[in-house]
Every structure is written in structure tokens, then in C-alpha cells.
Structure 1
Amino acid sequence: MATYPLDRTAYLLVDPYNDFLSEGGKVYPFIEAIATEVGLLDNLRKLDRALRAHGVAVFIVPHRRWEPGDYEDWRFPSPTHRKIMARHNFARGEWGGEWHPEFAPKPGDTVVQEHWGASGFANTDLDLRLKQKGITHVIIAGLLANTCIEATGRYATELGYHVTLVRDATAAMQHDMMHAAHELNGPTYAHAIVTTGELIASL
């Protein structure tokens, strides 16, 4: 079991938008079955309470909020970008692009620049902000397990951070995506892959 120097550990909460986490959100119906199965919302609540109680730094790592014209003139928009263009996920100024009320930033939290792709590090200030706080260990939760969580975790490892994934504080659209994220791909870069209960016990 990994141990965590609390003054050098950060909790990275990725994409806590209504579109992902709230009933009526544009993406929520696609993850609802797995989110319910793993207890996603309850586990995010437990993580939030426990990590804040231990003084762990909280970083909100948000996806780009869609605006009219986004990606339309890009040379190589990804399949995900094309879906966002069609569905207007996380639209700026709309309810879906607002924070889920239980996971909105609190005083003292760090909200980093929005990521355009999957990684919370690429083209953002996340690495800079973590280093300015002397962070060496990151605990990553949020959405989606096989896209933004995996890309952020891989990038964190490349940058030299100790990376922990919380397998039941995330979700995906299909079971095989969750399996790949935690059983196949995760072990190639993450230093620890734990449940919410295991993580809290290790604190």
C-alpha cells in the first residue's frame, strides 16, 4: 500500500461538470450504469471529505468548456472533439458546463487552466501549479477513466510524479473501458490503483 506525504500530495479532480455527474447532463446517461455500479458519486464525496480533512491540496482539472466555433477550424480534430462539436458538451454559460454543486471549487482550491484534449497537463498550467506547491504525489479521480484520467495519469508519470488511480471514483461508458483503464493500461504507469476505502485507510 502506498503512503502519502500529506504536505506533498494533491488530489486532482478531473472534469466535475454537471454534464458528467448530474442527472440531465449530456454525458451522464452514457456513464450512469457504471457510475451507479461503482458508487461513483458516494465515493467522490468520501474522497472529498477525507482528503480535505487531512489537508491534502485540491486541484480542479477541467475540460475546455465548449464555445461556438471550437475545433471547427482545427486541422486534425479528434473523434472526441467532433462529438463535442456535435453535442456541445460542457458548454460555457450553460448548466451542463457548470460545476456539480457538491464538487465545486472551495476556498483554497486550485483551478487550473482548461485542457483542450484528454490530458490535464497538456497546454495547461497544471504542472507549474503543482511544482509551486512542492507536490510529488497525485491522486486522480473524476471522468472518464479511459480518457482524461488515463491521459492525465500517464502525463503525470512522465513528469516524475507518484500517481494513484482510484478505481471506484471514476467511470466509463463501457465495462471493457473500465477494465482496460485499471487492469491493462493503469498498471503500466500508475504507482497505485486502489479503491476509495483503501486510499482513505492509507491516509
Structure 2
Amino acid sequence: MGNDTLEHCALALVEYQGEWLDADGKLNKLMQDRTLFTDSVEQSERALEAARRAGMHIVHVGLRFSPGYPELGKARSGLRAAIPRAGTFRKGTPGSAFVEPFVPRTGEWVVEGRTGASGFAGSNLESMLRNNGVETIYLMGYASHVCVESTLRDAHDRGYDVVVLTDATAAFNRDQQRHFEEAVVHHFGRGIKTSTFVQWLQTVGH
């Protein structure tokens, strides 16, 4: 924000897919603070609608793994072990599908090849951003303290300015969310509310 021009900014949506957003999604069931989660979805809708209306670059950062999860190997711990064990984000399943109103539209970018917690891991995200002159990433999605945080840290270290829409993210519970917002975000970017983002778009959009 501030001196940002719209053409050099992108809104990145992390995992607005069935595993999180469908009532029977495997990760949806892990959300302990339902109010936190529901509110974050509502704010995410507001942010995306405003960004689309303003003509902002929009990039969908999902996860999709091949049957058998060969991309993740035979890990003993961490997400590389947990994802195959849980059976999440397999290609062709409802859990890996984007959910309305977050389904990509014509002209919006969809990340391919991602294999890790960071949206940049193994993917074409960097090429999309660099080749289109993006300097500032507005970030929202799930979970705050896992893949959103990993993407935030990675983007910072790659030289991007990163702005987290804090109320358009959610962790599994309020303590995790508070830690993310108060102890993590300011080291790698800055956090704002969705209302501030929408107001800014109204001044710079077309």
C-alpha cells in the first residue's frame, strides 16, 4: 500500500479448496475455532470481490498431488508425511478442487507444480510474479501458521513486499492465530485488515 500501484501488486489466495472450505473436507474438520474460520472466509470473499472489481492480478495457490504422492517421497515427519497419511489434496478429488466464489476465472493465474508448504516450493509462482512485474503480494488463506506463514517467509526472502490480510486468514485456533499475527507477520511483512485493503483498492482501482 502507500506507493503501491495496482499493476505491480497481486492478491495471492492460499488453498481455497475443498479440504478447507467443504463441510466434509479433512482440514475443515480440524478447525477448532469455527467463528474465526467462518469470519475469515467472509473477509476473503470481500477481498477477492474487491480485487476482481479493481482489476488486480489474482493468483490461486493451491495444492494438487498425484496418486501415491510421489512428489513428497517417503518422509517420516512433517507435512510430507502427514499429507499422504491423511490423503489430502489428491488430484481429481473434491478436496483438491477450488470452491466458489474462489474458483479461478479467466485471466487469473493458477499455480502449478507446488510441492511444499510455501507457495513457491516447486511451483511456477515466481515466474508468474516476476514476468508480470509484481513487487507486492497481498496474502490470504489457510492455514495462517503453516502454508500462509511459509509463503510469507519465502516471499520476503525473495525480495517481495508482503502484506497479510490478517482477518482473511485463519489458524486452527485463536492462540495460533494470535501468535501468527503478533509474533510472526512483522518480521516478514506487515498485516492489515480486509477493510483497509478494500478501501485502498477503491482509490487505485479502475
Given the two structures, how large is their TM-score scaled by the length of structure 2? 0.89
* CA contact 1:66–1:89 (8 Å) conserved in 2: no
* CA contact 1:43–1:169 (8 Å) conserved in 2: yes
* CA contact 2:73–2:80 (8 Å) conserved in 1: no
Give unpaired runs (5+ residues) of structure 1: none
* Superposition pairs of residues 130-149 of structure 1, within 5 angstroms: 130-149=129-148
Matched residue type, 1:46: R
1: CA distance, partners of 2:103 / 2:115 = 20
Structure 2 residue matching 1:67: 3-state secondary structure: coil
The aligned residue for residue 8 of structure 1 is: 8
Tell me whether 116-125 or 77-86 shows the greater mean CA deviation.
Answer: 77-86
The aligned residue for residue 204 of structure 2 is: none
1: CA distance, partners of 2:124 / 2:28 = 28
* CA contact 2:30–2:172 (8 Å) conserved in 1: yes
1:30 aligns with 2:46: no
1:178 aligns with 2:200: no
* CA contact 1:139–1:163 (8 Å) conserved in 2: yes
* CA contact 1:62–1:114 (8 Å) conserved in 2: no
Matched residue type, 1:127: E
Matched residue type, 2:102: F
* Superposition pairs of residues 37-186 of structure 1, within 5 angstroms: 39-65=39-65, 67-70=67-70, 73-74=73-74, 76-186=75-185
Q: Could you list the per-position Cα deviations for residues 3-58 of structure 1 after superposition, in whole angstroms to 9, with x for gaps in the alignment? A: 53111110111111111112111100212625546611211110111011111100
Assess, with a 3 A threshold, how the Cα gap between structure 1 residues 5 and 77 changes in structure 2: closer, same or farther: farther
Give unpaired runs (5+ residues) of structure 2: 202-206
Structure 1 residue matching 2:16: 3-state secondary structure: coil
Structure 1 residue matching 2:47: 3-state secondary structure: helix
1: CA distance, partners of 2:6 / 2:93 = 36
* CA contact 2:63–2:96 (8 Å) conserved in 1: no
Matched residue type, 2:133: G
Q: 1:138: how far off?
A: 0.5
2: CA distance, partners of 1:73 / 1:111 = 24
2: CA distance, partners of 1:196 / 1:163 = 14
2: CA distance, partners of 1:10 / 1:70 = 31
Structure 2 residue matching 1:101: 3-state secondary structure: coil
RMSD, matched Cα:
1.9
* CA contact 1:35–1:170 (8 Å) conserved in 2: no
Number of residue-to-residue matches in the alignment = 201
* CA contact 2:71–2:115 (8 Å) conserved in 1: no
1: CA distance, partners of 2:13 / 2:34 = 18
1: CA distance, partners of 2:120 / 2:69 = 23
Q: Could you list the per-position Cα deviations for residues 123-165 of structure 1 after superposition, in whole angstroms to 9, with x for gaps in the alignment? A: 2111111011111110011111011111111111111111000
Structure 1 residue matching 2:162: 3-state secondary structure: strand
